[in-house]
Amino acid sequence: MKYKVLIFGILVIAISTVVGCGQETLDQDVASSQSQENSSPIRLGWVGPLTGDVSSFGHDARVAAQMAVDEVNATGGIHGRQLELVAEDGKCAAKDATIAAQKLISIDGASVIIGGLCSGETSAIAPEAERQQVILFSYCSGASTITQAGEYVFRTYPSDAYQGVYAAEYVYTKLGKRRVATLAVLGDYGSSLKQAFEKRFQELGGEIVLSQDYKQHQVDFRLELTKIKASTAELVYAPGYAGATVPLLRQKTEMSVSLPFFAADTWEDKDIFSQSFANGVMYTYPTFTIQDQEWIKRMEERGAKATTCAPYAYTNVKMIADIMRRVGNIPTLIKDELYNVKDYQAIHATITIDKNGDPAVSDYTVKVIRNNEPVVVF
């Protein structure tokens, strides 16, 4: 009997030793995995047009975002972890932006996407970001519909609901126009501006004598311009992107359409204002001032300029990094912190985010193209 008990005791000790060693090995593996995870880069997605319409804006915005990432990493990153910007070309198109976002979420594991630039990009990505509970933080999308795109969707760029209203009030009160024709690019951006402009202009007592739309990549505007020329319009409100705006303004000159043209922020594009036939056109533009001239110099050293979307892209990365230092790389916590942003001192403005994920304050200037350069007139 003692012999059997001895054998049983030896077996128990042996099994316990094996199990203990196995558990110790498992614990070491988990610890090693956690250590690797804690030292791996935090990937930030970025979406914007790197080819096609407004690609110059996209290039500058990507450079600005990367510069912000580099600065965060130079000061220790996020608790020792480096940020890594993974940029994808949204091409200012819903389909391409959606594919880009799916790749960033599913393959790259991004918990935050800085983007999109075009409103169509952001609107297309928003449903997937909501479903996956990934932060979508736009740096240049203005469509008013984005306000209700979801609780994980934010932006630092002002809504076109304000820009369209501002344009209508300026045209009516400052320019004294009472009859206007509208010609807007189809899609979230153009439609949002057009609707806001028309509504406010009519509220003021003005008349929309002709309302037209055109496709984003359209190059022939002779039919639309013929209708405008035959109308009683005193001005044309024509928000759109550079790819179509250049042929539109060229054909306007060729057809001797003498009416003044008024548009929005995307007309601050060298592809437009470098053209001789663009002189005299006017547009609204967000009011911001970059006080840090060294920032502009650093952008130029990287082959970029401080164009419309660049300071916003830079700010979005910096804001996300500040929040991650407080709450980590956890989308639900980042979301909650974004809703609490108040009086954030960015390089170009003071930003407060409202309950809809929009900037709480928006202001605009009016510019005119003179001698192929944008000049502030109001």
Domains 41-158+289-362 and 161-287+365-376 share a fold: yes
Q: Is the pLDDT of residue 1 over 60?
A: no
Type of residue numbered 237? Y
DSSP state of 175: S
More reliable by pLDDT, 8 or 275: 275
Q: Give the whole-angstrom CA distance, residue 312 versus residue 163.
A: 17
Q: Return phi, psi of residue 181, to 5°.
A: -105, 140
- Nearest Cα residue to 285 out of 260, 270, 267: 267
Q: How confident is the model at residue 110 (pLDDT cuts 50, 70, 90)?
A: very high
CATH for 41-158+289-362 (3.40.50.2300, 3.40.50.920, 1.20.1560.10, 3.90.950.10): 3.40.50.2300
Q: Are strands 112-114 and 153-155 parallel, antiparallel or unpaired?
A: unpaired
Spatial contact of 42 and 78, defined as CB atoms under 8 Å apart: yes
Q: Cite the DSSP H helix spans in 40-54.
A: none
> Which H or E run includes 55?
helix 55-74
Q: How confident is the model at residue 291 (pLDDT cuts 50, 70, 90)?
A: confident
Q: What is the DSSP string of 224-253?
A: HHHHHHHS--SEEE----HHHHHHHHHHHH
The architecture (CATH level 2) of 161-287+365-376 comes to 3-Layer(aba) Sandwich (3.40)
Q: Are strands 373-376 and 364-370 parallel, antiparallel or unpaired?
A: antiparallel
Q: How confident is the model at residue 26 (pLDDT cuts 50, 70, 90)?
A: very low
Which residues are within 8 A (CB) of 55 and not within 5 positions of it... i.e. 6 or more apart?
49, 92
The model's pLDDT over 36-51, given as tens digits with 9 standing for 90+, comes to 457 899 999 999 999 9
Please state whether 280 falls in left (phi above 0), alpha (psi between -120 and 50) or beta. Answer: left
Spans of all domains in the chain: 41-158+289-362, 161-287+365-376
Percent of the chain with pLDDT over 90: 88
Spatial contact of 126 and 136, defined as CB atoms under 8 Å apart: yes
